[in-house]
Amino acid sequence: MVWGLCVLSFGSCRSFIGHKGGVEVIVDGDGEFPAFLVGRWKADESSWEIVFEPDGTISSAVVSLGRVRMKPGQVTVVPMKLGGKGVFKPGLWTVQYSQEQRELIVEIAIDHFRVELGDNVVHGKTLDFFAGSVSGDGQSWWADRFSFPEYVADTNKYQDYELPFDPNDNPCESLLFLKVPESE
C-alpha cells in the first residue's frame, strides 16, 4: 500500500534513470538527480545514514538493524559482540525524487539477515520506506519511516519463533536527515 502511494505521488511525468548495482533510481521532470542531494545524509535521532551518488544511486547506508553499514548488491558480514557473526543480504533499493514537490522517497530492502548472539540467532528480512520533503536550502530532509520487519528467533527456549508484527499497528517514525559536510 505504501509503495502504491509513493508511486502515485509522482504523477505521470517520471524518468527512469536506471538500475545500477542493486539500486533503482526514478526522477520526475528532466530525469536529472539534483546535485544538492549528492553526499551523506544522517538522521539526527537514529542510526540511519544514506549516501547518494551523482547518478542518484545509494553507495552505502547505515541501517538501524545492528547499525551496520551496507552496500547495495553486496552481502555484509560483521562480527558480533557475544561471538558469532551478522550476515546481511540487501534486496533492491529504490530512490525516487520529485523535483516539483521536492519529495524524496527511499526504499531499503534487506532480503535476508542472520545475526548470531552467542547461542541465540535472529534471522529474517525487513523493508523500510522513507518519504518526505527536502528543505529549500537542500540541507535537511524530514522523512516518515515505515518499517515492515519479518523476524524469527531461535533460542534455547524458542525454536523458529516468529516475532509478532501487525502492519495495522505500525506507526511511522519521523526522522530529520541532515546533510553531513564532506569533512566529517
Query: What are the pLDDT digits (tens) for 4-54?
Result: 434 434 444 455 555 677 999 999 977 899 999 999 999 988 889 999 999
Query: What are the pLDDT digits (tens) for 87-126?
Result: 999 999 999 999 999 999 999 999 999 999 888 999 999 9
Q: What is the DSSP string of the chain?
A: -HHHHHHHHTTT-EEEEEEETTEEEEEETT-PPPGGG-EEEEETTSS-EEEE-TTS-EEEEEETTTTEEE-TTS-EEEE-TTSSEEEEEE--EEEEEETTTTEEEEEEEEEEEEEEETTEEEEEEEEEEEEEEEPTTSSEEEEEEEEEEEEEEE-SS-SSEEPP--GGG---EEEEEEEEPTT-
